[in-house]
Structure 1
Amino acid sequence: MLDEAAFGRRPRRQKAVGVQITKDRLRAELEKRRSSRSADERDRVAADLAGWMYSAPFRLEYDVTVAAYVPFGTEPGSIAQLDALADRGVILLLPVVPAGPPGPLDWVRYDGPSSLIEGRWGLLEPKGDGLGTDAVQAASVIFVPAYAVDKTGIRLGRGAGYYDRTLTSADADLVAVVYDDEVLDEPLPADPHDVRMGWVLTPDGGFRELG
């Protein structure tokens, strides 16, 4: 069971290193819990998340650009989620992790499962010419991977900071995708540079506005 005492009970002037230690501990606990989920549960979750693409509270049509990602490892979801978005007719962008130290993500247009190749760290990424880090500015909806999100929109990511660097100036509806029990009542530890999510998507609860 997740250690709820870790949330929101830091000393008021705790140093940044303490926040990082807390975040790392939470990531480890959440990863362990995700890894314990059965294959049948993961398959059901993936199907449910894909189904929610057809009843999203956002306008998703041919002239709308959406940014998403290919779920990796224990992350909820599957390529079916991307195909459901593509079926809506949107222009769909997927991230490409650039070489070198963490920085803003590059983006390439998704052209079906056959367009995906293995990229950095084993992530599936679309092949093709990169559109540049600014391409995400055209998106009106951005789906963001997360380990957890609290009800104020604070997101716990993997820790490298790629998305926080990418989303700093994004003018879009930001949607964290997590399991239902990863939407937390207690506040998550946060740094000043953390970008807040406006929405969360879960397999049972669907889209919910945060904040």
Structure 2
Amino acid sequence: MTKAQVRHDLLARRRAMGGEERALAAEAIAMHALATPVVSRAKRVACYLSMPSEPGTGPLISRLLVLGVEVIIPLSLPDHTLDWVTYDPAEAIVPTTLGIPEHGGERHGPEALDGCDMVFIPALAVDHAGHRLGRGAGYYDRALMGVRVPVCALVFTHELLPEVPHEPHDVPVQMAVTPDGLFRVP
């Protein structure tokens, strides 16, 4: 199957999920992520603000903040790159034209990921080799070039697949967290 076909099928399955199922998944993902040793020792992590169809990041971000971890979130720039700002729960969240939730703040620049202990990213699927299927715009592939800290995709359990279509420029992840637990790429 092509990337477009796999994306279509996965997005349809996400749309079919109910609110309670999503909420339970977000809680379970947060618990599994926080139990990861690198996260339990983290001082700063990067994480996205989830869209309604994605595995929810709200519980994870809230618990990280309670633990005193600085959370930086991405800003989508017109040139299809990402910048990063420190998450502030008091700041108003505004969806971009693409529907991506963001808020303003002092920009840290693309190099902000170098100061993180972990980077959590969205994905539609991850395979057993760490290949990640995103939405196709390449924002995260560009942002993750050269990143040396662990990168972890957050996906629903059915989105951890034996194989996903990928290309040489796709940046792999080292792990994925699902509601059922942590998967480390061998």
Whether contact under 8 Å (1:96, 1:119) holds in the other structure is: no
Give the TM-score normalised by structure 2: 0.93
Residue 137 of structure 1: SS of its match in structure 2? helix
Whether contact under 8 Å (2:45, 2:71) holds in the other structure is: yes
Cross-structure match for 1:111: 88
Which consecutive unaligned segments of at least 5 residues does structure 2 have? none
Q: Residues 181, 60 of structure 1: CA spacing in aligned structure 2 closer, same or farther, 3 A cutoff?
A: same
By how many angstroms is 1:59 displaced? 4.5
Q: Provide the C-alpha distance between the structure 1 equivalents of 2:60 and 2:13, rounded to a whole number of angstroms.
A: 22
How many pairs does the alignment contain? 185
Please, which of 96, 106, 112 is the counterpart of residue 135 of structure 1? 112
1:96 paired to 2:75: yes
User: Equivalences for 1:189-208 in 2 at 5 Å?
Assistant: 189-204=165-180, 206-208=181-183
Which consecutive unaligned segments of at least 5 residues does structure 1 have? 1-5, 7-21
Percent of pairs with identical residues: 35
Cross-structure match for 2:185: 210
4+ residue runs of structure 1 moved beyond 3 angstroms? none
1:188 paired to 2:164: yes
Higher relative contact order (Cα pairs below 8 Å, separated by 6+ residues): 2
Q: Provide the C-alpha distance between the structure 1 equivalents of 2:118 and 2:131, rounded to a whole number of angstroms.
A: 17
Whether contact under 8 Å (2:7, 2:135) holds in the other structure is: yes
User: Equivalences for 1:1-150 in 2 at 5 Å?
Assistant: 6=1, 22-61=2-41, 64-99=43-78, 101-103=79-81, 105-112=82-89, 114-120=90-96, 121-150=98-127
By how many angstroms is 1:119 displaced? 4.1
Residue 122 of structure 1: SS of its match in structure 2? coil
Q: Residues 59, 70 of structure 1: CA spacing in aligned structure 2 closer, same or farther, 3 A cutoff?
A: closer
Q: Give the root-mean-square deviation of aligned CA atoms.
A: 1.5
By how many angstroms is 1:69 displaced? 0.6
Cross-structure match for 1:18: none
Q: Which has the larger radius of gyration?
A: 1
Whether contact under 8 Å (1:49, 1:81) holds in the other structure is: yes
